[in-house]
Amino acid sequence: MIGLTLCIVAIFVLYLYGKRNHKYWELKGVKHDQPLPFFGNNARNYFMRKSVTELFSELYWKYSNEKVVGFYRASRTELIIRDPEMVKRILITDFSHFYPRGLNQHKKEIEPLLRNLFFADGDIWKLLRQRMTPAFSSGKLKAMFPLIVERAEKLQARALTAAAAGTAIDARDLMARYTTDFIGACGFGLDSDSLQDENSAFRRLGATIFKIGPKEIFIITLKQLFPSMFKKLKSLSRVEKQILQLVDAVQRQRNYKPSGRNDFIDLLLESKMKGTIVGESIERIKPDGKPDVATLELDDELIAAQVFIFFAAGFETSSSATSITLHELAYNPEVQAKIHEEIDRVLEKYDNKLSYDAIKEMSYLEWTFKEGMRIFPSLGFLIRECARKYTFEDINLTIDEGVRVIVPLQAMHNDPKYFDKPTEFRPERFQENTSSNNKFSYLPFGDGPRACIGARLGLMQSLAGLAAVLSRFSVRPAPNTIRRPPVNPASGIVQSIQGGLPLLFIERKQHN
């Protein structure tokens, strides 16, 4: 009898633990779906039925008259923002209240590879951003362009082989290989040649980083359901050793000094040689109200973390955005014809060769790429964490420190309130929307101090890849192409398609 009583008590205590915090939004008067014990509103994501972006989108449309919607990721409170003006305040106006992303639940025990510009918060993020921003200046981007052209030509060659055979090629895989080679060259001074080498180690590394299997899902779920018990489990152990070895090998090859290549590794080595990074603290305030001084030493482990995010962010986002754009063009031949005309006309001015200045003139191609990112943004949502208690005065809602706020990009980008006939693929809308009407409802690269630091680099590399393909080929749906391909339910912040994006690449007559 005593054993049964203890068992019942234990179950009841466990149930209460699984329901902790689940009254938060009800007490605040914020509409939300009823959470399940332990899982909150995220059960279908944990069981690989829906991506978290899809869950946010469902609630965005379900509560269409609300400015905010409550969400529970396990027991953690999150707030979905449905109003662009509130988005502006979070990302820019009141950034000091929302500078963390909050992706590390245990701020004092962060995995080594997660101490990077994307995942890090507070002073680590601020000092890294301060030191690394010069790497993405216009001058440095222009200097990189010859490396992009070399990879773009190899991209054409691989597509040409498939076109000659009349076989479909997976646009997702094709553009991922191009992106991988670009990152290898511009990031590390390496010629990975994954466009030609089917077993490229660099390509395998890229695939490994984003390969989320049952083991990885299980670890992520345990860390969210029982954060205190499983905080030491590493979610990136499968690639940590590879990244550390890669960075060490490249540094040794350069004698731990900048090589003059002006790539990402050179920037980090230059930063290390400059010594301690010093700046104003974003976390600590002196008694006189002024920011305290913050310092950071750029050691080998921190360098490896930046290399990891440079590789991971560039690999998945650019390849996803370019392949989705090609997929949409395959179903919109009239748009494709306009792009062909523009590319032919511009290249004729530049001796039929890709160049930095030629890409800058291809405005319709840029609108088309932006439209692709509107239809299916690489980042399904933006995330920020409330650093200290904050009040949304227009809706009389106060949230506490630690609450995460979500900007649901996938939903907002496809809301007819902001984009007329959103299901239509119409690049001209970016010519028409030259004002700031949709400034904070279209944010593929984020905005504010934590906007993507490599946005211009990613845009330039993506447009060059698209121009290289479309200058030589037309794309059409293959017999097995799915018009609306399903989203991979294992997707996190970065969205991915389940399966490939097979397309037919048809060689065009060369323009003279």
What is the per-residue pLDDT across 215-231, written as a single tens digit (0 to 9) for each?
Answer: 656 556 656 655 655 55
Separation CA 173–CA 161 (nearest Å): 15
Residue 77, Cβ neighbours under 10 Å: how many? 23
Tens-place pLDDT, residues 35-73: 999 899 999 999 989 999 999 999 999 999 999 999 999
Among the listed residues 128, 360, 161, the one whose alpha carbon sits nearest the alpha carbon of residue 267: 128
Task: Using pLDDT thresholds of 50, 70 and 90, give the confidence band for residue 251.
Answer: confident
Least confident interval from 29-38, 190-199, 309-318 = 190-199
Q: Is the model's pLDDT at 153 over the cut of 50? A: yes
| pLDDT reported for residue 327 | 98
Considering the domain delimited by 83-102+138-212+308-507, tell me its CATH architecture: Orthogonal Bundle (1.10)
3-state secondary structure 334-365: HHHHHHHHHHHHHHHHCCCCCCHHHHHHCHHH
Distance from C-alpha of 20 to C-alpha of 16, rounded to nearest angstrom: 6
The answer to whether 235 touches 111, Cβ cutoff 8 Å, is yes
Look-up: residue for tokens 């006309």?
345
> CA 463, CA 469: separation in Å to the nearest integer?
10
Kindly state the helix (H) or strand (E) to which residue 10 belongs, with its residue range.
helix 2-19
> Over 90: is that where the pLDDT of 274 sits?
no
Domain ranges of the chain: 83-102+138-212+308-507
Query: Region 388-417: what's the mean pLDDT?
Result: 97
**Can you give the pLDDT at residue 247?**
81
Give the confidence band of 435 by pLDDT, cuts at 50, 70, 90.
very low
Q: What is the pLDDT of residue 476?
A: 97
Is 60 exceeded by the pLDDT of residue 282?
Answer: yes
Query: How far is residue 489's CA from residue 221's CA, in Å, rounded to a whole number?
Result: 14
Residue 386 known to bind ligand:
no
pTM of this structure: 0.89
Instruction: Give the CA-trace dihedral at 180, 186, 192, 193, to 10 degrees.
Output: 70
What token pair was written down for 506? 């048809």
CB burial string 437-476: b at 16+ within 10 A, e below: ebebbbbbbbbbebebbbeebbbbbbbbbbbbbbbbbbbb
